[in-house]
Amino acid sequence: MSRQIIVPFGPQHPVLPEPLHIDLVLEDEKVIEAIPSIGYVHRGFEKLVEKRDYNNYVYLAERTCGICSFMHGMTYCQAVEQIMNTEVPERALYLRTIWSEYSRLHSHLLWMGLMADAFGFENLFMNAWKTRERILDVFEQTTGGRVIQGSCKIGGVRRDISGPKLVEMAQDLESIQDEIEDLTNVFLMDSSIKHRLKNVGILSRTDAYQLGAVGPMARGSGVDIDLRKTGYAAYAKLKFEPVTETGGDCYARCAVRSREMFASIDLIRQAIGKIPDGPVDVRVSGMPNGEYFSRCEQPRGELVHYVKANGTKFLARSRIRTPTLTNVPPLVKILQGCELADVPVIIMSIDPCIGCAER
């Protein structure tokens, strides 16, 4: 006769980068049910929008998350620019694209390090973050901030990158690409890593679509959703294909992120090759009035910023729906029936960013 016991997982756990609490109902090391609970880092961003000028709210929107901060700022700026019908100059769109793709690179490298740490491979964790430092150096040299960039504003970007600097960045990408290739070779072909990742946490294709999985979690199960195809920023002019795998297990999600890194490097090279000259911002005046849903592809999935303005300088409502929040129902589904020792690996494979999810 087996009994059911409840094991609390988190909010403090050596594997979790951010506080998340899951109550696991166990029956002899097999998980029957998982009950999530969030709210440890709720900071009330959506209430604060009523007290800050719509121009200044960019600084707050960026600080929602430390890993994907540039895209939060960019999506908010896009929403307000659409409401006010502002035409952003071409060079600013290309610069935003370049910074977004660097943001995706550093986020995936961070995730690789944490995933390696989740199953105990600390050396790989250190090596992944060593490569990530080079990308943070690029951010600091071009925007002034390693983690919070502070370079998006309504009407364009605040800072320009000079021509010689762009050439230097393109040359540095060669050695960064070699290092990433070494890391992904270890990840995808090492037998002990395969043993821990294959056939763990399987999410079928219909489940992924019905439950609303986004980002690499959906693309690892074969669902072809990539918001970059809608053509915001400069993506309409660059050529790329979304990366999908059909396994549906943790190994497939890992493979999707690894291949996406190479796709990002290719996109950066294309953007540096095609960037036009010109101004980088445009003056914005007047008050916004209207509403808009602005969507973009963060490293973790689809980010939605809903902005509603009523003609004064404070916005009426800003709602941020982050990909981690919408990946929690599929997580609850795939935790049912797995072993207790696989729980950290599965939770890390959805790439949880609870700071984003909690705003």
Cα–Cα dist 6/243, whole Å: 38
Element spanning 310, H or E: strand 301-310
Q: Which stretch binds other proteins (CB under 8 A): 67-75, 105-113, 203-211, 339-347?
A: 203-211
| Residue 250, number of CB atoms within 10 A of its CB | 26
Q: Toward other proteins, which CB reaches closer, 28 or 122?
A: 122
Per CB under 8 A, the segment of 24-32, 44-52, 271-279, 346-354 that binds other proteins is 44-52
What part of residues 45-104 is at the interface with other proteins (CB under 8 A)? 45-48, 52-53, 56-57, 59-60, 63, 78, 82, 85, 87-88, 93
Distance from C-alpha of 19 to C-alpha of 66, rounded to nearest angstrom:
14
The residue type at 315? L
Q: Does 145 bind other proteins (CB under 8 A)?
A: yes
| Beta-sheet pairing, 156-157 with 152-153 | antiparallel
Q: How far apart are CA 255 and CA 249, in angstroms?
A: 10
22 binds other proteins (CB under 8 A): no
Instruction: Answer yes or no whether residue 262 interacts with other proteins by CB under 8 A.
Output: no
CB–CB of 213/223 below 8 Å?
yes
**Which 329-348 residues touch other proteins, going by CB under 8 A?**
329-330, 332-333
Name which position in 67, 109, 166, 304 contacts other proteins (CB under 8 A): 304
C-beta closer to other proteins: residue 18 or 358: 358
Alpha-carbon span 68 to 341, nearest angstrom: 29
Work out which of 25, 147, 186, 340 binds other proteins, going by CB under 8 A: 186
The verdict on 272 binding other proteins (CB under 8 A) reads no
Q: What amino acid occupies position 52? A: R
CB of 163 to other proteins, least distance (A): 17
Identify which of residues 56 and 289 has a Cβ nearer to other proteins in the complex: 56
User: Using the rule CB under 8 A, is 198 a contact of other proteins?
Assistant: no
What minimum distance in Å lies between the beta carbon of 68 and other proteins?
17
Angle at 266 between CA 260 and CA 268, to 5 degrees: 105
Q: What is the C-alpha to C-alpha distance for residues 323 and 321, in angstroms, rounded to an integer?
A: 7
Contact positions with other proteins (CB under 8 A) in 212-241:
212, 227, 229-232, 236
**Complex with other proteins: residue 186 or 272, whichever CB lies closer:** 186
Q: Is 308 in the site for other proteins (CB under 8 A)?
A: yes
Total residues interacting with other proteins, rule: CB under 8 A:
75
Three-class SS state of 294: strand
Rounded-to-integer distance, Cα 208 and Cα 225, Å? 11
Q: Which of residues 98-137 bind other proteins (CB under 8 A)?
A: 123-124, 127, 130, 133, 137
Q: Which of 1, 12, 14, 189 binds other proteins (CB under 8 A)?
A: 189
Cβ neighbours, 10 Å, residue 138: 22
Q: Which of 69, 142, 258, 349 binds other proteins (CB under 8 A)?
A: 142
Smallest distance from other proteins to CB 245, Å: 19
306 lies in the site for other proteins, by CB under 8 A? yes
Bridging pattern class, strands 301-310 and 317-321: antiparallel
Q: Which of 2, 141, 204, 246 binds other proteins (CB under 8 A)?
A: 141
Please identify which residue in 2, 4, 210, 246 interacts with other proteins, judged by CB under 8 A.
Answer: 210
Query: Which long-range contacts does 278-281 make (Cβ < 8 Å, 24+ apart)?
Result: 278/89, 278/90, 278/91, 279/89, 279/91, 279/92, 279/156, 280/89, 280/91, 280/92, 280/95, 280/156, 280/157, 280/159, 280/160, 281/89, 281/92, 281/153, 281/155, 281/156, 281/157, 281/158
